[in-house]
Amino acid sequence: MNRFIKSVGYALSGIKYCLATGKNFRIQLVVALIVIGMGIALQCTAIEWLVLLLCIGIVLSLEMMNSAIEKSCDMQQTGVHPTIKIIKDMAAGAVLLMSVVSAICGAIIFLPKLLHFFNLNF
């Protein structure tokens, strides 16, 4: 049990580091909090919450992995290296791809609710 508690502590330190140093992580966290607020205000269903929370978790996790990959690459190569650039670009692309998919999921969930809320029928 002691080993597990230490592992959780290390993981929390990683999250804390991302909060302290990761501008993109903080931006995505703010967006996540806005999405959660909208979900509460627009009374999302259980399935909608599952989709929203999975999207939030995946985007934030990918951003942390992207940051870890960048740190690791920076330790290996201080200058510009074409392979390191490809690795960093691919990691950033993974975050972007999931962010776009998450935005589409959010639109599918929230747009009908917002249109109904404002009595807009198309």
CATH number of residue 61's parent domain: 1.10.287.3610
Predicted confidence at residue 120, as pLDDT, reads: 80
Domain that holds residue 81: 2-117
Does residue 38 form part of some domain?
yes
Confidence of residue 122 (pLDDT cuts 50, 70, 90): low
- Catalytic residue set: 63
* Percent of the chain whose pLDDT exceeds 70: 99
Does residue 45 form part of some domain?
yes
Confidence of residue 72 (pLDDT cuts 50, 70, 90): very high
Q: Between 77 and 107, name the one with better pLDDT.
A: 107
**Rounded Cα gap, residues 59 and 25, in angstroms:** 9
Q: State the chain's mean pLDDT as an integer.
A: 95
Does residue 122 form part of some domain?
no
Does residue 91 form part of some domain?
yes
Q: Report the number of distinct structural domains present in the chain.
A: 1
User: What confidence tens digit (pLDDT) does each residue in 39-56 have?
Assistant: 999 999 999 999 999 999
Query: Whole-prediction pTM value?
Result: 0.92
Cα distances (angstroms) measured from residue 19 to each of 23, 27, 60, 112? 8, 10, 11, 33
